[in-house]
Structure 1
Amino acid sequence: MEEIVEKRVVAVVAVIVLLVGASVASIIYMKSGKNDGSKTAYIYRDNELLRTVSLDDVKNPYTFRIEYGDGEYNDILVENGKIKIADASCPDKLCVNMGYISEPLMPIICLPNHLVIRIVNDGEESPSLDGVVY
């Protein structure tokens, strides 16, 4: 009976050690690729690439405006490693309230103005929109 209990304890300890090791290895793997290479923001409107912006080595923050017909616009603020919509003509300003993005995890989307900003890390495939934004 003692032998069975000892085997179970050894098996449980081995599983715990494997899980901890796999967790540490995955964290190291994920961290190793995030800050290496350059980041580029791709700005789209109606699935058309309007502009690409390098987010690396921005010495001084700068703003530029993307204008459309009928007085619609988005003011984009670029800082070192991050980008955001600083102001927009849309009524709800949800895109402004999204704040900065610095990783490709989630894009900034302005639905009323049909604008999408995506970040791509160097070495990854250029983004392509998988649908029409409306």
Structure 2
Amino acid sequence: MPPELRHPNEARAVGRRLVSKAASRMRRMELVASRMGLFISLEETEVFEQHLACDRVDDNLTFLALFQKMWDEIIKFSGSAKMKKISVTFSKLERSASQQQCELFSDDSREKRKKISQTLDSINQK
């Protein structure tokens, strides 16, 4: 990352943007993920890594909540150290159609989050 974005507050914004862009790509590819990872390299060459499992989802709100949980854990250890690199991964990917086949009961909140994410995608494409 450029030096002006390496402070934790600015780096967090970069990470959130990475999460949103990756989730948008997953939706375009009709994929869902049930695991997310966050990797942060500090300027002092120390590396932090966190992974969290979740339901099979593709919405921004869920992934941003996971990001925040992992971010908070990493910040406990890294403090205000400057960050050199942030990467986000989604794993345990499946086709979104298989998600619908496996669910017996609909989850209204999940549908709302998905619609919000799709709306954000259409806004960001303009």
Asked whether the two chains share a fold, i.e. TM above 0.5, the reply is no
Higher relative contact order (CA 8 A, sep 6+): 2
Larger fraction in helix: 2
**TM-score scaled by structure 1?**
0.28
**TM-score scaled by structure 2?**
0.29
